[in-house]
Amino acid sequence: MISAGTAPSFQRQSLHLMTTEFLKHLRDALGDDIVETEADGIAPWLTDWRGVYKGNAQAVVRPRSTEQVAACLRLCNQHGVPVVPRGGNTGLCGGATPDASPANVILSLDRMNHIRAIDTVANTMVVDAGCILGTLRRAANEADRLLPLSLAAEDSSQIGGNIATNAGGVNVLRYGMARELVLGIEAVLPSGEIYKGLQTLRKDNTGYDLKQLFIGSEGTLGIITGVALRLQAPSRVRSVVLAAVDSPQQALQLLRLVFGACGPRLQAFEFFTDQCLDLVLSQVEGLHAPFSERHPGYVLIELADTANEEALQAMLEDVIGQALEQEVCVDAALSATLSQLQSLWRLREEISEAQKADGPHLKHDISLPIERIPDFMVSAETRLRGLASDARLFIFGHFGDGNLHYNVSRPLGADRGWAGEWEERISALVFDEVAQYGGSISAEHGIGQLKRHAFHQHKDPLQIRLMQDIKQLFDPKGIMNPGKLL
In a domain, 207, yes or no: yes
Alpha-carbon torsion, ordered 428, 429, 433, 436, to 10 deg: 60
CATH number for 442: 3.30.70.2740
In a domain, 476, yes or no: no
pLDDT of residue 444: 86
Confidence (pTM):
0.87
151 shares a domain with 204: yes
In a domain, 482, yes or no: no
Each residue's pLDDT tens digit, 311-370:
999 999 999 999 999 999 999 999 988 888 999 999 998 998 899 889 888 989 999 999
Each residue's pLDDT tens digit, 218-258:
999 999 999 999 999 998 899 999 999 999 999 999 999 99
pLDDT of residue 181: 97
pLDDT of residue 267: 92
pLDDT of residue 18: 60
108 membership: H or E segment, kind and range: strand 105-108
Strand ranges of the sheet holding 182-188, from the earlier edge strand across to the other edge: 115-119, 124-128, 223-230, 182-188, 194-197
Each residue's pLDDT tens digit, 74-127:
999 999 999 999 999 988 888 999 999 999 999 999 999 999 999 999 999 999
Single-letter residue type at 198: L
pLDDT of residue 2: 36
Rounded-to-integer distance, Cα 69 and Cα 114, Å: 15
Rounded-to-integer distance, Cα 451 and Cα 440, Å: 11
Kindly report the backbone phi and psi dihedral angles of residue 138, in degrees, each rounded to the nearest multiple of 5, phi listed first.
Answer: -70, -35
66 membership: H or E segment, kind and range: helix 66-79
Tell how far CA 447 is from the center of its chain: 10
119 shares a domain with 106: no
Distances (CA, A) of 129 to 115, 194, 388: 9, 14, 43
Alpha-carbon torsion, ordered 399, 176, 95, 420, to 10 deg: 0
Rounded-to-integer distance, Cα 404 and Cα 431, Å: 12
Each residue's pLDDT tens digit, 424-445:
999 999 999 999 999 999 998 8
Q: Which of 125, 140, 134 is nearest to 157 (CA)?
A: 134
In a domain, 324, yes or no: yes
142 shares a domain with 126: yes
CATH number for 211: 3.30.465.10
pLDDT of residue 16: 54
127 shares a domain with 25: no
- Among residues 348, 370, 396, which one ends one of the domains? 348
Alpha-carbon torsion, ordered 452, 48, 394, 279, to 10 deg: 180
Residue 269 scores a pLDDT above 50: yes
pLDDT of residue 333: 93
134 shares a domain with 219: yes
106 shares a domain with 129: no
CATH number for 303: 3.30.70.2190
- Asked if 212 and 179 count as a contact pair (C-beta separation under 8 A), the reply is yes
DSSP 214-250: HTT-TTSS-EEEEEEEE-B----EEEEEEEEESSHHH
3-class secondary structure, 354:
helix
Q: Per the structure, how many domains does the chain have? A: 4
In a domain, 475, yes or no: no
In a domain, 483, yes or no: no
Q: What is the mean pLDDT of residues 161-184?
A: 93
403 shares a domain with 342: no
Tell me the percentage of the chain whose pLDDT exceeds 70: 96
204 shares a domain with 154: yes
What angle is formed at CA 143 by the lines to CA 141 and CA 144, rounded to 5 degrees?
65
329 shares a domain with 253: yes
pLDDT of residue 432: 96
45 shares a domain with 136: no
CATH number for 50: 3.30.43.10
Mean pLDDT of the chain: 92
| Residue 73 CB neighbour total at 10 angstroms | 27
414 shares a domain with 344: no
Q: What is the mean pLDDT of residues 185-202?
A: 96
119 shares a domain with 102: no
In a domain, 281, yes or no: yes
Residue 174's domain comprises: 115-230
In a domain, 307, yes or no: yes
What angle is formed at CA 252 by the lines to CA 246 and CA 257, rounded to 5 degrees?
110
pLDDT of residue 450: 86
- Among residues 63, 88, 110, which one ends one of the domains? 110
Each residue's pLDDT tens digit, 274-322:
999 999 999 999 899 999 999 999 999 999 998 888 999 999 999 999 9
